[in-house]
Structure 1
Amino acid sequence: MKRVFALLAIAASMSVFAGPKEDAILAKMKEITKSPGISVQATPFPDLFEVHLGGGNIVYTNPAVDYVMLGNLIDPSTQKNLTDERRSELNKVDFKSLPLERAIKTVKGNGQAKIAVFEDPNCGFCKRLHSELKKVDNVTVYTFLMPVLGADSVSKARGIWCAPNRAKAWSDIMSGGPIPDSNSSCDSSVVDKNLELGNTLGIQGTPTIFLADGRRLPGFVTAEELKKNIASTK
């Protein structure tokens, strides 16, 4: 419970869904956490309210805030995970605002679909995703080098960014090929900027995929899963 309230206390400023019950919950939460930035809205279930903690973190409570619950809210009639759906909505980004010039651009087929992927060169699941991406056609992939797994990852990321052909260097290393030499005269500050960007976006692990409509797919996905998600992009 202390962890829940700690998360609430550092929640970023959010818009509030107005209503008497929501206002009362908001006031109670502010009283408990001394935080001005809590978002509250009703769920489809009577007297159960969602509290957004920021960063896609969600808890539930009742109008009197007698309890705070962690976990997934499931609609039994449809078997839908309502918490996951809300988290996906809250975690959306403005794809057009991403600094794509700081990513490695790879065009497959007509390149019509667009995705951005944050990856670490030493990430095993990133390498598995690289293999799956070979099965996906007609997509432009923007790879943001985000070396979160230590100094060796940072060194490899800098070497990839400074390679004459970044896309080839990235593909080679993800396929078990040679590691590019780091060029000390090359400006590889983009790697540091991408790490900052990842923190700003609340990325908690690699790979993390963003679809063109802003939806976030955290973790490894298969080619078929990715194709379905791309096809459903609005």
Structure 2
Amino acid sequence: MTPFFQLFSRYAIITSLPVLFSSLAFAGKAEVDAAVQQALPQYSIENIELHSGSGLYTVTLKDGPALHVTADGKYFTTGDIYHINGTAVENETQKAKLAEIEALPVSRMIVFKAANEKAHITVFTDVDCAYCRMLHKEVPKLNEMGITVRYLAYPRAGLGSDSYKKMVSIWCSDDPKGWLTKAKEGDAIPENTCVNPVADDYNLGNSIGVRGTPTIVLQDGQLIPGYLPANELAKELGL
């Protein structure tokens, strides 16, 4: 083979590799989609994404567990994917879920915004939780320190519970911030209904490992299970 044809052949192989890999990834995704739909028809698939580090496809099911599926769709496992990086172990599944929280629209939350915002926290809260009420009393202080507090709903007793109904009523009210404060002071809440994010917030909390309230998520993805006084929260945020 002449040098020209050698060069041409090498060039053709190199330039075709991205197309080849793209086709393989697409084929794997299609097989995974078909296999999961056939094996688990009770769930609807929200997303399928290739996890490049492990070579597995992460399948997000609506109101179901996260699956990690082989490219041929014949094997899967549930739970989290951990990355071993020397002496460090990172929970990549939880990290991705925490990134989801940062990407949520603020309109979905009840937000107590600092006038001079330096940082923010996102809090899974329950109106009937004593420690949530303690944290809420410190919101003015947190705001003064430049910390915005963004609330997501997490009724600990589950969907359909009294706490759930209260939180739906608050999110659907004409003054969510005011009624959230009143509820945490023990006041009765007028019943309201509307399209609301309470169930979605609860399911999101479960998917990232929220087991109690308050659960505080810092903007760098760190998850703090439980109450922290304002001064300690400020230290965690580097303020």
TM-score class, shorter = 0.5 to 0.7
Choose the corresponding residue for 2:122, options 99, 116, 138: 116
Contact 1:125 1:206 in 2 (8 A): yes
Provide the C-alpha distance between the structure 1 equivalents of 2:92 and 2:190, rounded to a whole number of angstroms: 40
Choose the corresponding residue for 2:216, options 200, 209, 230: 209
Instruction: Please give the per-residue CA displacement for 1:126-166, whole angstroms capped at 9, x wherever unaligned.
Output: 11111233322222211111112241111110111122110
Partner of 1:127, secondary structure, is helix
5+ residue gaps, structure 2, are 1-50, 55-75
Provide the C-alpha distance between the structure 1 equivalents of 2:82 and 2:237, rounded to a whole number of angstroms: 32
Contact 1:106 1:140 in 2 (8 A): yes
Aligned length: 164
User: 5 Å matches for 1:1-234?
Assistant: 15=53, 39-43=83-87, 93=99, 95-136=101-142, 137=144, 138-150=146-158, 151-176=161-186, 178-183=187-192, 186-231=193-238
Deviation at 1:201, TM superposition (A): 2.2
User: Under a length normalisation based on structure 2, what TM-score does the superposition of the two structures give?
Assistant: 0.58
Change (3 A) 1:193 1:231: same
Contact 2:112 2:139 in 1 (8 A): no
Partner of 1:224, secondary structure, is helix
Provide the C-alpha distance between the structure 1 equivalents of 2:235 and 2:178, rounded to a whole number of angstroms: 27
Q: 1:7 — aligned with what?
A: none
Provide the C-alpha distance between the structure 1 equivalents of 2:83 and 2:91, rounded to a whole number of angstroms: 7
Runs of 4 or more consecutive aligned structure 1 residues displaced over 3 Å after TM superposition: 13-16, 34-42, 52-56, 89-96
What root-mean-square deviation, in Å, do the aligned CA atoms of Structure 1 and Structure 2 show? 3.1
Deviation at 1:167, TM superposition (A): 0.4
Change (3 A) 1:171 1:111: farther
Deviation at 1:54, TM superposition (A): 7.1
Provide the C-alpha distance between the structure 1 equivalents of 2:166 and 2:174, rounded to a whole number of angstroms: 14
Change (3 A) 1:35 1:192: closer
Instruction: Please give the per-residue CA displacement for 1:74-93, whole angstroms capped at 9, x wherever unaligned.
Output: xxxxxxxxxxxxxxx79853
Deviation at 1:112, TM superposition (A): 3.6
Q: 1:76 — aligned with what?
A: none
5+ residue gaps, structure 1, are 1-12, 17-33, 45-49, 57-88
Partner of 2:198, secondary structure, is helix
**Larger CA Rg, structure 1 vs 2:** 2
User: Under a length normalisation based on structure 1, what TM-score does the superposition of the two structures give?
Assistant: 0.59
Change (3 A) 1:162 1:90: closer
Deviation at 1:221, TM superposition (A): 0.5
Contact 1:93 1:215 in 2 (8 A): no
Partner of 2:197, secondary structure, is helix
Deviation at 1:109, TM superposition (A): 3.0
Instruction: Please give the per-residue CA displacement for 1:40-98, whole angstroms capped at 9, x wherever unaligned.
Output: 34328xxxxx5x67766xxxxxxxxxxxxxxxxxxxxxxxxxxxxxxxx7985355313
AA aligned to 2:84 is V
